[in-house]
Chains A and B, each alone.
Chain A
C-alpha cells in the first residue's frame, strides 16, 4: 500500500510569509501527527489530528496551525515565518487498530526560511 505522502519536498520562503504543507496518510489511517526536526531542538511534536479533530498539541506558538479533512489528509500552516522555522517537517500516520506497528512517517518537507 502507498506510504505517507508529503508535499512539497522542498520549500524556500522569505521571512514574514506563510506556508502550507500537505500530508496524505496511509489509506485507512485516521491519526495524523506532525513533527518538526531541527539540529538544535531535535524532533519535536507539533500536533495530532484524529477524525478532523486536534487531539494533542505541542508547545509551539499560535503561528503553527493545522487541520484534517474528512479523507484524513492533513495540512499544517505556519504564518509570519521566522528564520528559526527552517526545519524538516515530518508527518506521521497511525492506525488505532494496529498500534504495535508504530507510526509511518513521510519523507518530510524541508522548509528553508531566508
Chain B
C-alpha cells in the first residue's frame, strides 16, 4: 500500500510558470525524496531532504518538509517543456532490520505546455 498521497494527481501549466506538488505521509521518516519518471521509464532522483531539515534547494527545485504535518512540497520554478513527467515523493522510514526501503506516493503527472 502507498504510504504517501500526492496532490494534485495531474497538473498542467504553461512554460515559465511555477509548479507545486504536495505529498503527505503517515509514519516517521529518516528522509523524504523526490523522483521524476518520464513515460514509464526508470526513476531519476531529484532531491533528498532529511527529517531534521525544513527546506532544501537544488537548481530550479525547492523542497520543503513539515514533519509535524507529515507533508512535503516540491516547487519547480520557471518550468520548461522538458519538465513534463510524473513526479513521485518517496519516504525512507526507520527499519527494524537496518535495511532500507522507499515507500512511494501515487505521483503527480506534470504537463508543461510550450
Residues of A in contact with B (beta carbons under 8 Å apart): 4, 31, 33, 35, 37, 42-45, 48, 50, 55-56, 58, 88, 90, 92, 94, 99-108, 110
How long is the Cα–Cα vector from A111 to B33 in the complex, in angstroms?
26
Interface residues on B, range: 20 to 34
Please state if B100 and A94 are interface contacts (CB–CB under 8 Å).
yes
Please state if A48 and B106 are interface contacts (CB–CB under 8 Å).
no
CB-CB < 8 A to A110: which residues of B? Answer: 40
Please state if A33 and B102 are interface contacts (CB–CB under 8 Å).
yes
Taking CB as reference atom, which chain A residue is nearest B90? A43
Which of A4, A43, A107 has its CB near the most chain B CB atoms (within 10 A)? A43
User: What are 29 A-B residue pairs whose CB atoms fall within 8 Å in the complex?
Assistant: A33-B100, A33-B101, A37-B40, A42-B105, A42-B107, A43-B90, A44-B104, A48-B99, A48-B100, A55-B97, A55-B98, A55-B99, A55-B100, A56-B97, A58-B101, A88-B40, A94-B100, A99-B48, A100-B48, A102-B45, A103-B43, A104-B45, A105-B35, A105-B43, A105-B45, A106-B42, A107-B41, A108-B40, A108-B42
